[in-house]
């Protein structure tokens, strides 16, 4: 995980101190800047002296040492700022540091063709990324995000007319920053006549002749007599294998974090509500990681004053022996899933980290969360971002005994720098309530259309916002369900193999929800019967960050 800043300016615009501090929160291991001076053609026929300012911070998670950025090629003076994980290049797994491999790939590509060559190089990368690349030989600036938008990159012009690209919203450009589109690779020819206020940007789009689209079209075939899904169905068995392969890329060979103690410290943590998706990742991680390596389960619960007030008014309700945090839906399911993991996977230290957030602490951090999630600015953005922000801080009380619920040595902060998220499973396997509504309205055809819509707009949803918030504590979140090869494999499968709508019920699926049925059957194969029956619940309701002050607000309401 890295932080990126770039500016094209006549005055040498550097990141503000506030922006610099936030970038270093993302990448605490290294901070370096590099400036290139270049004359560009002006509209009056003369030339304009400009500075290209590059800055990068680094969270080192690949290779055997910290690889400083920006990378500068001594021969050509080309520059790369890279924020990503190239898991594979041209289908081959990348060993060691990926940043240097990507830089070499780009340098070789632009020797043949500065446009098509770079596009083909980007097409060969599998993994999340955002980058800024200056091809000094051909005077071209290129920048991009991966087609699923898993890494943040924002762009805008400040009040002095300087073009800026940044992982977070630069504080000097707050009113004009927007997400860089995930539609392709964006290029600026610096040898063309320019005005700083409106650089001419050309976009090489995914799916064009230049840039291959890694996600194929949705399989829209309709069944005549779909068979029942069972734990022995070929698709369910292969699903388990495919998900394991995606997960292996993301949790094997993680370097030891600072202050690491073998057998005690965790390298990997799971954003853990106790729901199906995250628990499935935890369960599969057990089969990949050494048994003596603890896995932290990060479970967040909030003091919601509106819920607390409603409970006090309900005089007929019996008094609860549980605290306001232990009564949170995600805390209840989290404890239950922790117990099932402990029972199913003996010998592993499963550390349940209960992250309790008082309302006063939530208010104290509200402005910071609002700052990180910009340019997003709605009530729903805030309720989701708050949950992710405190969960990724990974500070709470820890228990390893799933029955006792007693904290170990008071306050605990996870050492893990890698977080796992189950995001993407609902879109791929029809996990939302609206998928059932679509099926009831128009059968398989409507259901397929709804899933296709979800998958097609993954890149334009809120992954950039989530990346800005989750990365604030110097941790990188990885999304096994959003691996390109995994997504491509799932969308090629017919809809009746992914969920249970319209399928005949059998003994194996009796009483199990149709949403994400294939994943539920994988959980049963792995001994997680209770988790397989968990209902879908949005994070803002499970952790109780939604509607903290009033129940009348709407998720789409803008924040003041």
User: Which of the residues are catalytic?
Assistant: 2
Cα 416 to Cα 129, 216, 395, distances in angstroms:
21, 34, 11
Tell me how far apart the alpha carbons of residues 60 and 44 are, in angstroms, rounded to a whole number.
Answer: 46
The residues pairing with 356 across neighbouring beta strands, listed in sequence order, are 301
- Whose tokens are 């990068």? That residue is 56
Query: Which two tokens mark 124?
Result: 């060969």
Pick the closest to residue 99 from 124, 127, 62 (CA basis). Answer: 62
Residues 276 and 534 sit within 8 Å (Cβ to Cβ) = yes
**Cβ count within 10 A of residue 361:** 13
Q: For the chain, how many residues are written?
A: 560
Burial 434-464, CB ≥16 within 10 A → b, else e: ebbebbeeeebeebbebbbebbeebbeebbb
Largest CA distance in the chain: 81
Q: Walk across the sheet containing 418-420 and list its strands.
A: 411-413, 395-399, 350-357, 295-302, 268-271, 418-420, 476-478
Q: Which helix (H) or strand (E) holds 308?
A: helix 305-313
**Cβ count within 10 A of residue 215:** 19
- Whose tokens are 């990180």? That residue is 372
Residues 6+ positions from 368 with CB-CB distance below 8 Å? 389, 472
Tell me how far apart the alpha carbons of residues 88 and 95 are, in angstroms, rounded to a whole number.
Answer: 9
């Amino acid at each position: 995980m890295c932080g990126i800043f770039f500016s094209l300016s006549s005055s040498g615009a550097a990141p503000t101190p506030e922006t610099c501090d936030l970038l270093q929160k993302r990448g605490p291991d290294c901070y370096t800047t590099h400036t290139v001076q270049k004359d560009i053609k002006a509209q009056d026929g003369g030339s304009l002296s400009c500075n290209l300012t590059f800055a990068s911070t680094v969270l080192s998670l690949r290779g055997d040492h910290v690889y400083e950025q920006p990378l500068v090629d001594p021969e050509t003076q080309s520059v790369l700022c890279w924020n990503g994980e190239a898991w594979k290049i041209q289908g081959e797994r990348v060993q060691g540091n990926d940043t240097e491999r990507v830089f070499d790939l780009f340098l070789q590509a632009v020797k043949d063709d500065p446009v098509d060559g770079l596009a083909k190089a980007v097409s060969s990368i599998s993994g999340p990324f955002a980058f800024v690349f200056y091809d000094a030989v051909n005077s071209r600036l290129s920048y991009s995000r991966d087609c699923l938008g898993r890494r943040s990159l924002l762009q805008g012009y400040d009040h002095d007319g300087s073009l800026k690209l940044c992982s977070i919203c630069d504080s000097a450009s707050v009113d004009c920053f927007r997400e860089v589109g995930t539609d392709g690779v964006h290029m600026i020819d610096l040898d063309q006549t320019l005005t700083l206020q409106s650089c001419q940007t050309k976009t090489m789009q995914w799916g064009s002749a230049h840039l291959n689209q890694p996600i194929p079209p949705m399989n829209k075939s309709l069944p005549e007599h779909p068979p029942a899904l069972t734990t022995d169905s070929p698709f369910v068995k292969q699903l388990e294998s495919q998900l394991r392969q995606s997960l292996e890329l993301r949790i094997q060979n993680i370097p030891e974090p600072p202050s690491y103690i073998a057998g005690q410290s965790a390298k990997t943590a799971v954003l853990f509500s106790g729901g199906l998706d995250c628990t499935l990742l935890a369960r599969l991680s057990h089969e990949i990681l050494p048994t003596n390596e603890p896995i932290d389960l990060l479970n967040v619960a909030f003091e919601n004053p509106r819920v607390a007030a409603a409970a006090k008014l309900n005089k007929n309700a019996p008094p609860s022996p549980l605290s306001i945090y232990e009564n949170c839906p995600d805390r209840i399911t989290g404890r239950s899933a922790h117990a099932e993991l402990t029972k199913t996977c003996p010998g592993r230290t499963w550390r349940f980290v209960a992250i309790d957030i008082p309302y006063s602490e939530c208010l104290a951090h509200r402005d910071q969360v609002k700052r990180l999630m910009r340019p997003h600015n709605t009530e729903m953005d805030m309720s989701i971002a708050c949950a992710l922000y405190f969960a990724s801080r990974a500070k709470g009380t820890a228990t390893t005994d799933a029955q006792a619920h007693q904290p170990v040595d008071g306050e605990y902060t996870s050492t893990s720098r890698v977080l796992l998220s189950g995001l993407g499973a609902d879109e791929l396997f029809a996990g939302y309530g609206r998928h059932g509504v679509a099926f009831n309205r128009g059968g398989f055809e409507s259901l397929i259309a709804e899933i296709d819509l979800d998958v097609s707009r993954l890149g334009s949803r809120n992954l950039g916002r989530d990346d800005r918030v989750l990365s604030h504590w110097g941790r990188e979140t990885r999304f096994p369900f959003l691996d390109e090869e995994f997504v491509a494999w799932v969308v090629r499968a017919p809809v009746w193999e992914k969920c249970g709508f319209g399928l005949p019920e059998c003994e194996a699926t009796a009483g199990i929800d149709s949403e994400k049925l294939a994943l539920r059957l994988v959980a049963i194969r792995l001994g997680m019967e209770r988790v397989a029956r968990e209902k879908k619940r949005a994070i803002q309701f499970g952790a109780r960050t939604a509607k903290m002050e009033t129940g009348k607000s709407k998720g789409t309401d803008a924040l003041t």
